Structure 1
Amino acid sequence: MRLLRLRQFLFLSLTAVFMLPVLAVMASWLSMGQADGAARQILLEMAQTVLPDYLGTTLLLSALVGLGVVAVGLSCAAAVTLFDFSGRRFFEWALLLPLAMPAYVVAYAYTDFLQFSGPFQTMVRELTGWQGRVFPEVRNLGGAAWVFIFSLYPYVYLLARTALSERAVHLMEAARLLGAPMRRRVLEIALPLARPAVAAGTALALMETLADFGVSSYFGIQTFTAGIYKAWLSMDNRLAAAQLATMLLMMVALLLFLERRSRQKLRFAASRGARAGSMDARPLKLTGRPLLLAWLLCGVPVLAGFVLPVLFMLRPLMADWSVLSWGSFLGWAWNSVRLGLLSAVLAVALALVLAFSVRRRPDAPTRWAVQLAGLGYAVPGAVIVVGLLLPVGWLQARWPETGAGYLMTATAFGLVWAYLVRFGAVALQSVQSGYARIPVSFDDSARMLGSGEWGLLKRVHWPLLKRSTAGALLLVFVDVMKELPATLVLRPFNSDTLAVVAYQLARDERLGEAALPSLALVLVGLIPVIILSRTLRSNPA
């Protein structure tokens, strides 16, 4: 009994570690009554000045990105699913390539090529003799929306493609036999089937938009995430940063709720027997103008979200290799790989502990605790940073001898903790998906043969979870390599990562030097994209 209580205490303590940043941010409202007059005055001034801008800009950016990812992702998913045309197999996997591109890398690439002093406008001025601006300014709200749309549309594309491929072709064939024209078949049959998947993909894209710091900071856009860092680092006001973080967290919680609701409705588009039926349903063959339109619909997102940014970044490298510092680059790459591997191993280990606990004791408290621990991926990095530093500042002010501030900011401890909170949910979902494929009868058989819990995990579960844990390691590793907001604040001295260096070089207008670390991040991001595309090809819906 004592051992069981100890295990429950450790399990709840582990869950609390994941939830501490969110709890600390929410608890900041309790300190409003004790806040000094200066802090309250800053909050009032923010409410009268910058807060409306933060809210308006964030909502407008979210609306533009939401409409854009739906238009691009759904049209591409419908094209490759409902129609058959030359190049369709290529576009099925090529449309996933922008998943490998961090949004802030795309922003650097377009800025370098299209800015006033960039090669595009310089070439046009030399050819035409025009001395003014040829292309409008990129670093604004419209440019940020463009970057997010073509970086995040694969969320909608992937989910909508899965939903459409399961039943839409068969039902559209049935509608055709009943005499329905193509326009009606698409608008009244196919698109309603994909509606829950589109809503879920849009919610995921908007959560990434709200969590972004690199694009909004580089473009000078007044979003909540940029405001949090400004309040913390420029104004040196933790309370104001915590209040802004709470508002951002509430917006993300609303999107998370809508995403879960949409995911629950996916069963209407994915019922059993989707392949059943005597009719030989095939996608409609396209030729002539419809074929050109399909190429345009699928080709523009691939060009805008992957091909052009890569070419824009390769240009300065090919023009002048002397801007590269390979010694520094190897140091940045080693820091990124080291943090990625350490965080991935710890995240998978903790995910195994949590998933195994739910497997052995599937009671309500355990399931609720694991679900709370799995919400970290929806929490923006800025909120995690504020949530970690608030209690550390409180401890450091009251008990300086603890050295909590040094441990959190001068070592990798705080950074790895932030990674575990942010990306532990990725590992947990992968491990739980692996457990879902292991019958419970295996556990009963092992217990009847006298196997203990450690033997059950080692001899029965682990051999069947190797693929899931390997996938979890890869996903967490790639996410940590690309993470920017938490790394920018919590990294130890002299331990810059590829993401931080790319951001700092781009901010200093040294875009040629920022190309190499940015391209390295793209190459790392290509690994899960390639695996995902191969999985979809080997297991067609």
Structure 2
Amino acid sequence: MIALYNNKRWKLSSYVIALVLILPMLVMLVGSVSASTKLFSHLWQTVLPSYLANTLLLAFWVVLLALFFGVLSASIITQTNIVFKQYLRWLLLLPLSMPAYLVAYLYTDLFDYAGPVQRILRSWFDWQTPNDYWFFDIRTLPGAALMLALVLFPYVYMLTRGALEHQDQNLFRASRLLGLTAKQSFFSVALPLARPAIAVSASLVLMETLADFATVQYFSVNTLTTAIYDTWLGYGDLAAANTLASILVLIILFVVLAEQRSRSGVTHQSARPSLKRELIQLSVGQQLLASLFCWSLVVSGFLLPIVLLIIMAVQYSDITQLSALILTGMNSLKISFFAATTAVFIALLLGLYQRLHTDKYRKIPLQVSGFGYAVPGTVLAMAMLSTLGPLDHWLNRAGELLGFSAPGLILSGSLFAIVFALVVRFSAIANGTITSGITQIPQSLDYAPASLGVNLLGSITKVHLPILTPTILMAWLLVFVEAMKELPAVLLLRPFNFETLSSQIYQLISNEMLEQGALGAILIVLFGLLPIVLLNKNKERV
């Protein structure tokens, strides 16, 4: 890593931005420590232990299922000669575009007692009442875990596949010479080498599970996220909600530190690995089982839900729904545009600061600014209310003292709060993408402008930004799509009479009326497909 410039304003602005992004979390944590409420004590003595147990149990099952789905599918794609591999390789990423609460509603509608599956079974076997037969209940904790795992396993699949594809095949040849079979080499060499990638993916799945709100609430599975939501909106006790949110943050912090510790001391492979691999040749029966497994993940995680949404849209859509969709769609586009643009600008500022500045601690602002990704949207909303609410009251009192009319809730009651929360939540995505692009720039291009007398601004605008343009577009698109899908923070922070696609669909799902919002749900899924398609194209070029 090199350092060329010593601009004090750049240094100050970088640290100030990092502090602003982490400030809501600090305010919330301080408030939770100083708060002592009867409501929290009551919750702790009654329902909170069961909520905590449900949270941990749900996280365990989701991670376990996601690891099973993701590692096994990645192993099949990279290590075997499965048919249609070129299609399955990217089709297995598609469930990532599906919000879990959509999948949960669609499968509930499909398999519930009044759904088509049970109606058909009753007509075939002449069953009259539920006492005549047994059928699994999908609206349970295991059902919620399965729904979440179906849309989150692509994290595990994508990272594990990448790790397996870039392993040095000379290691496997050496293990074969030592007498190991292909199967033994895979379990003794390939999987241990892929452990860091598997650990990272498992931590991502765990954080997404802990952040989920809509799925567990729809399935009536009480977790810490639903407890935070109910404590604030149901009881109006922000202090108790902050305390619950702090507990969730501490759990996530423990997970992040444990994951980082698990990867400490891991060494890289050789700089010039041999990537030419010998695939395991599957028999006809093995081909059938492997194909059935992979295609069932694609169908259950994406194809079946999107087909059900299309059928709903065709049957129930009308002009009134289309006009409402345009309004909520514009709201979603507005806040996602501002959030993505702001997050990418901050990522460029901090990423280039880390690359080009002489500050000894120049890595700190970038690392601090990305902490928000590990924080669930519900917790982040609590942090925003704890920070912006008092600031609004202070501004109102200051305005009145100066003889002006009170401006109202200009921060906590406006779109500013939503955009701010989205920037804090997804800055890590922009940071990671931009930093990855910056590391690909040769160091000679950092030295060349300085040696020619070009100042900092000229070097960035004429050299770095043109090279980073594709990376900037990818980072912007990733944050934009995630902001479009964000639900908990939008639900808690949105102004009155303001709906986005995600909040509108959630309201319709809560009222068992998703058919009325099928077009909006399809639109969210289509936006979610964009980065998957672009990422797949980039991978194919490599």
1:13 maps to 2:16: yes
In structure 2, what is the equivalent of residue 25 of structure 1?
28
Q: What code does the residue aligned with 2:296 have?
A: V
Residue type at the aligned position of 1:521: I
- The residue that corresponds to 1:105 in the other structure is 102
Residue 273 (structure 1) aligns with: 272
In structure 2, the residue matched to 1:194 is 194
2:342 counterpart of 1:351: no
- Identity score, percent: 36
* CA distance in structure 1 between the partners assigned to 2:32 and 2:325 by the alignment: 43
Partner of 1:92: 89
> How far off is 1:215 after superposition?
0.8
Cα distance, 1:339 vs. partner? 1.4
Does the 8 A contact of 1:344 with 1:477 survive in 2?
yes
- Aligned equivalents of 1:393, 1:116: Cα separation in 2: 45
- Cα distance in 1 for partners of 2:43, 2:442 equals 55
Instruction: Tell me which amino acid in the other structure corresponds to 1:106.
Output: V
Q: Match of 1:163, as an amino acid?
A: A
Letter in 2 for 1:53: S
**Structure 1 residue runs without a partner (length 5+):** none
Report which stretch shifted further, 128-137 or 97-106.
128-137
Distance 2:298 2:93 in 1: 8
Counterparts of 1:320 and 1:520, CA distance in 2: 16
Give the conservation status (yes or no) of the 8 Å contact 1:204–1:259: no
Distance 1:353 1:79 in 2: 41
Aligned-partner residue type, residue 324 of structure 2: S
2:292 is equivalent to residue 296 of structure 1 = yes
1:246 equivalent in alignment to 2:246? yes
Find 2:528's aligned residue among 525, 528, 531.
Answer: 525
Counterpart CA distance in 1 for 2:208 and 2:496 is: 28
Distance in 2, matches of 1:518 and 1:179, equals: 54
Question: Which residue of 1 is the match for residue 3 of structure 2?
Answer: none
Find the residue that maps to 1:167 and give its secondary structure.
coil
- Aligned partners of 2:168 and 2:270 also within 8 Å: no
Number of matched residues? 527
Q: Distance in 2 between matches of 1:399 and 1:416?
A: 20
Deviation, 1:378, is 1.3
Which residue is equivalent to 1:236?
236
- Is contact 1:21-1:385 (8 Å) kept? no
C-alpha distance 362-242 of structure 1, shift in aligned 2 (>3 A): farther
The residue identity in structure 1 corresponding to 2:343 is A
The change in CA–CA distance for 1:255 and 1:299 in structure 2 (over 3 A counts) is same
Letter in 1 for 2:200: A
Q: CA deviation at 1:414?
A: 0.8
Conserved? CA contact 1:200–1:258, under 8 Å: no
| In structure 2, C-alpha distance between the alignment counterparts of 1:459 and 1:396, rounded to whole Å | 41
How far is the alpha carbon of 1:252 from its aligned partner?
1.1
The 5 A counterparts of 1:56-75 are 56-75=53-72
In the alignment, which residue of structure 2 is the partner of 1:376? Answer: 372
2:386 aligns to what? Answer: 390
Q: CA deviation at 1:106?
A: 1.2
Q: CA deviation at 1:174?
A: 4.2
Match of 2:45 in 1: 48
Structure 2 vs 1, CA of residues 6 and 323 (structure 1 numbering), >3 Å: closer, same or farther?
closer
- 1:314 and 2:313 matched: no
Q: Which amino acid aligns with 2:322?
A: W
Q: Distance in 2 between matches of 1:514 and 1:50?
A: 34
1:81 shift after superposition: 0.8
Q: Identify the residue that residue 403 of structure 2 maps to in structure 1.
A: none
Query: Per the alignment, in what secondary structure is the counterpart of residue 129 of structure 2?
Result: coil
- Higher share of residues assigned helix: 1
1:455 alignment counterpart? 458
Alpha-carbon distance between aligned partners in 2 of 1:349 and 1:536, rounded to the nearest angstrom: 25
Pick the aligned partner of 1:415 from 397, 418, 435. Answer: 418
The whole-number CA distance in structure 2 between the counterparts of 1:362 and 1:94 is 45
Cα drift, residue 266 of structure 1: 6.1
Shift of 1:404: 7.9
Matches within 5 A, 1:436-451: 436-451=439-454
Counterpart contact for 1:355–1:431, Cα < 8 Å = yes
Helix, strand or coil at the partner of 2:410: helix
Q: Does 1:476 align with 2:508?
A: no
Judged with a 3 Å threshold, the aligned counterparts in structure 2 of structure 1 residues 305 and 324 are, in CA distance, closer, same or farther, namely farther
Change over 3 Å in CA distance of 1:31–1:404 after alignment to 2: farther
CA contact (8 A) 1:502 1:514 kept: yes
Q: 1:274 to 1:496 in 2, by over 3 A?
A: same
CA 391–319 in structure 1, closer or farther in 2 if over 3 Å, else same: closer
- In structure 2, the CA distance between the partners of 1:366 and 1:166, relative to structure 1 (3 Å rule), is closer
| Whole-Å separation in 1 of the counterparts to 2:283 and 2:265 | 35
Give the conservation status (yes or no) of the 8 Å contact 1:316–1:515.
Answer: yes
Relative to 1, partners in 2 of residues 1:174 and 1:323: Cα closer, same or farther, differing over 3 Å?
farther
Query: TM-score, structure 2 length as denominator?
Result: 0.92
Which amino acid in 2 is paired with 1:465? L
Maintained 8 Å contact 1:21/1:383: no
Distance in 1 (CA, whole Å) between partners of 2:166 and 2:230 is 47
Q: What is the CA-CA distance between 1:538 and the residue it aligns to?
A: 2.4
Deviates more, 1:171-180 or 1:382-391: 171-180
C-alpha distance in 2 between matches for 1:362 and 1:244: 41
- Structure 2, unmatched stretches of 5+, are 1-5, 400-405
With 54-63 and 439-448 compared, the bigger mean Cα shift is at 439-448
User: How has the CA–CA distance of structure 1 residues 64 and 78 changed in structure 2, closer, same or farther, with 3 Å as cutoff?
Assistant: same
| SS of alignment partner, residue 108 of structure 2 | helix
- 1:429 matched to 2:429: no
CA distance, structure 2, for counterparts of residue 114 and residue 513 of structure 1: 20
Deviation at 1:137, TM superposition (A): 2.4
> 1: distance between equivalents of 2:479 and 2:442?
26
Checking the alignment, whether the CA contact within 8 Å between 2:11 and 2:353 is kept in structure 1 is: no
Three-state SS of the structure 1 residue aligned to 2:70 is helix
Q: Report if aligned partners of 2:28, 2:387 keep a CA contact under 8 Å in 1.
A: no
1:189, 1:329 → 2: CA distance?
Answer: 52
Change (3 A) 1:183 1:350: closer
Q: Does 1:140 align with 2:140?
A: yes
How far the C-alpha of 1:79 sits from its partner, in A, is 0.5
User: RMSD across aligned C-alpha pairs, in angstroms?
Assistant: 2.2
- The correspondence of residues 333-344 of structure 1 with structure 2, limited to 5 A, is 333-344=329-340
Shifted more, 111-120 versus 91-100: the winner is 111-120
For residue 167 of structure 2, give the secondary structure of its aligned residue in structure 1.
helix
CA distance in 1, matches of 2:286, 2:327: 51
- The answer on whether the counterparts of 1:100 and 1:522 sit within 8 Å (CA) in structure 2 is yes
Q: Is the 8 A contact 1:407 1:414 kept in 2?
A: no
Counterpart of 2:137 in 1: which secondary structure?
Answer: coil
Contact 1:211 1:379 in 2 (8 A): yes
Bigger mean CA deviation after superposition, 312-321 or 234-243: 312-321
CA distance in 1: counterparts of 2:170 and 2:59, whole angstroms = 35
Change (3 A) 1:73 1:404: farther
Q: What pairs up with 1:393-408 in 2 under 5 angstroms?
A: 393-397=389-393, 400-401=396-397, 406-408=409-411
> What is the CA distance between 1:208 and its match in structure 2?
0.4
